[in-house]
Chain A
Amino acid sequence: MKTVYMDHAAATPVPKQVIDAMLPYFDEHFGNPSTVYDMGSKVKHVIDEQRAKVAELIGAKAEEIVFTSSGAEANNLAVKGAALANRKKGNHIIISAIEHHSVLNSARFLERNDFEVTFLQVDEHGLVDPERLAHAIRPETILVSIMHANNEIGTIEPIPELSAICREREVIFHTDAVATVGNLPVDVNKLNVDLLSLSGPSLGAPKGIGALYFKRNLRLMPLIHGGIQESGRRAGTENVPAIVGLGTAAELAAEQLTHKVEKVQGLRNRLVQGVQDRIEQVIHTGHPVKRLPGHASFCIEAIEGESLIFMLSQKGIYANTGSACASKALKTSPVLVAIGIPPGFVQGSVVFTLSESNTVEEVDYVLEQLPLVVDRLRSLSPVWETRTAA
């Protein structure tokens, strides 16, 4: 049976070039970068080279990058680190209602520690309204965090418009760009942000590495206290092989980005059109145009996402879902609720995230199998029966 992997937002294979670049740093160059002798200082130098490569991918300066263990840690450091360091200026922060859990739960943590949090609602496409943001900012607002693109519905937020408002009101602006860096051109100057999180696995680096961009001179409270690695912003001996992996992946991503965007966009459009032509009662979630190039997300009426994902995987197709049953917490996706997906559709969520390794044949295979699987589940569904009888 063929395998069609379309869950690149969850994990991506690490390219051979990246693995090869990493390998010497396990044994040949194993020195601790904090040591003063040449074995260590050479490795320290390598880390700084990688920092420059990551910075270049997003239009930043090398000294504005701090390596973290993941995108989630970068988000934690941005939200908690900036809020705690600027506590004297105010105690109010604003995030959107569709942020990733690492931003959402960081904000909830702050809420329990004497901060006030406003959760900004989004429209039916998942867009944050700049006017609404302007209205929510108060004198004591110190931080706004709004994601660059949402991983569940693919919508790209109008970051330059939102950050301009914050700039004018002297509020720190953070964006979680885990879903965009490596998938879209991202430039911190064009986005006009103070903080930006990215994750290694989104661009072909291994799991366990991420980075945070912070505008020079921005104050951040470290979350991991200890030595002065990462200029004192994150203690702990550096994960050198993974950092080399991220640097190498960033370099490759920069070279391949234009080609990748064009290719995955074509495949994605074919998939979206095909699904809408072949399946009745399906909602294409997120913004129809302002969305991630390789991202196709749907809510299908009267079926449940976890069943759908398992049945697709039996056909060799790997995708994802935001259904309540597939989450350990058994909660309906807050993102799908926020964009107002009707109850009969909200559990039937399916998300395909494509990469340049996918092919037209693979998309056509999904278009052939998905309607069969949907029919099968609908034939079992009392909800579909009631609906068609009505």
Chain B
Amino acid sequence: MYSEKVMEHFSDPKNAGTIENADGVGEVGNPVCGDMMTFYIKVNDDRLTDVKFKTFGCVAAIAVSSMVSEMAKNKTLSEAKSITKKAVAEALDGLPKEKMHCSNLGAKALAEAIDDYERKRSGEPPPAPKPSKKKGAKRHVTCSHCQERNPITAKFCMSCGEKIGD
């Protein structure tokens, strides 16, 4: 299902690790959804002199992280920011359709690291943590009989069998 290029980067990821005293750090995803990436960058004269990453995720997520780090190294900040998910996927000789979001995640984590660097330089305060997305909050409904959490689509409680919304 994966290209040789993907397997190459998965088996031997480039630039895996962290950078102490990184100039910028970008983190996307969370372990619950199955993918999490952290990118670390070192910047000198508007250029990315070093890029490292740590990734929790599938084969595609690890290969994407490795590829993004390779593509970004020694690029100017604006060049690095313009790396698209499409470009990453193409550089990996394609990704399975259901894994395309992984390439998005890689590009996003790098962009966040650059944003973090730029904010630090301009002395801007870090953005307030975003309020949790509606998605997470509305996926469950609590049974009024036994307080069991049920999927939002449930008509009857998975625990006690009573009608939801009674």
List residues of chain A with CB under 8 Å of any chain B CB: 94, 97, 111, 116-121, 132, 135-136, 138, 302-304, 306-307, 310-311, 314, 323-326, 328, 330, 332, 343-344, 346-347, 379-385
Contact B58–A306 (Cβ < 8 Å): yes
In the bound assembly, the distance between CA atoms of A164 and B62 in angstroms comes to 50
Please name 16 further chain A to chain B contacts, defined as beta carbons within 8 Å, in addition to the given A132-B159, A380-B55, A382-B38, sorted by A numbering.
Answer: A94-B161, A120-B159, A303-B56, A304-B34, A306-B59, A307-B58, A310-B59, A311-B11, A324-B33, A325-B34, A330-B34, A344-B31, A347-B56, A380-B13, A382-B37, A384-B56
What are the 4 closest A-B residue pairs judged by CB atoms, nearest first? A325-B58, A136-B161, A382-B54, A118-B161
| Neighbour of B158 across the interface among A97, A116, A302, A323, CB < 8 A | A97
* CA A330 to CA B58, docked complex, whole Å: 11
Interface residue? B89 (CB, 8 A): no
Q: Which residues of B contact A383 (CB under 8 A)?
A: 31, 36, 56
Size range of the chain B interface in the assembly: 20 to 34
State the CA gap A344–B36 with chains docked (Å): 11
Enumerate chain B residues within 8 angstroms of A330, measured Cβ to Cβ. Answer: 34, 98
Q: How many Å lie between the Cα of A385 and that of B16 in the bound state?
A: 13
Is B154 among interface residues, defined by CB-CB distance under 8 A? yes
Are A121 and B34 closer than 8 Å at their CB atoms? no
Question: With the chains together, A346 CA to B161 CA distance in Å?
Answer: 26
Give the CA-CA distance A121 to B156 in the complex, in Å. Answer: 12
Bound together, the chains give a CA A332 to CA B33 distance in angstroms of 8
Residues in B neighbouring A323, C-beta threshold 8 A: 34, 58
Is B35 in contact with chain A by the CB < 8 A criterion? Answer: yes
Closest Cβ neighbor of B156 among chain A residues? A118
B83, chain A: closest CB distance, angstroms: 20
Q: Could you say which of A116, A343, A347 contacts B156, with CB atoms under 8 Å apart?
A: A116
A347 and B158 contact, CB distance less than 8 A:
no
Does B31 contact A307, Cβ atoms closer than 8 Å? no
A385 engages B62 (CB within 8 Å): no
Asked if B10 lies at the interface with its beta carbon under 8 angstroms from chain A, I say yes
Tell me if B120 counts as interface (CB < 8 A to partner A): no
- A119 to B156 CA separation, bound complex (whole angstroms): 8
Listed by A's residue number, 21 A-B pairs whose Cβ atoms lie within 8 Å are: A117-B155, A117-B156, A119-B154, A121-B159, A302-B31, A311-B11, A324-B34, A325-B35, A325-B57, A325-B58, A325-B61, A330-B98, A343-B31, A343-B32, A346-B32, A379-B16, A380-B16, A380-B54, A381-B54, A381-B56, A382-B37
Cβ < 8 Å to A, chain B residues 108-159: 148, 154-159
Q: What's the least CB distance linking A53 to chain B, in Å?
A: 38
B23 within 8 A of A: no
Among A97, A135, A332, A380, which residue has its beta carbon within 8 angstroms of that of B62? A380
Binary interface profile of B, 93-104, with partner A (CB < 8 Å = 1, else 0)?
000001000000
* Most interface-central of A306, A310, A332, A380 (chain B CB within 10 A): A380
Give the chain B neighbours of A306 by CB distance below 8 A.
58-59
- Residue pair B57, A121 in contact (C-beta under 8 Å): no
- Among B13, B59, B157, B160, max chain A CB count under 10 A is at B59
Q: How long is the Cα–Cα vector from A379 to B18 in the complex, in angstroms?
A: 10
Q: Which residues of A contact B59 (CB under 8 A)?
A: 306-307, 310
Question: Within 8 Å CB of A304, what residues of B?
Answer: 34-35, 56-58, 61
Shortest CB distance B6–A (Å): 10
**In the complex, what residues of B have CB within 8 A of residue A311's CB?**
11
Q: How far is the CA of A380 from the CA of B35 in the complex (A)?
A: 12
Q: Is B50 an interface residue (CB 8 A)?
A: no
Question: Which chain B residues in 13-43 approach chain A with CB under 8 Å?
Answer: 13, 16, 18, 27, 31-38
In the bound complex, CA of A332 to CA of B58 (Å): 13
Of B56, B58, B155, the residue contacting A116 (CB under 8 A) is: B155
Q: What is the bound-complex CA distance between A324 and B61, given in angstroms? A: 13
Complex CA–CA separation, A116 to B33 (angstroms): 30
Measured CA separation A173–B104 after assembly (Å): 47
A309 and chain B: residue at smallest CB distance: B59
- Bound Cα distance A323, B156 (Å): 27
CB-CB < 8 A to A385: which residues of B?
A: 18, 54
Q: How long is the Cα–Cα vector from A383 to B37 in the complex, in angstroms?
A: 9
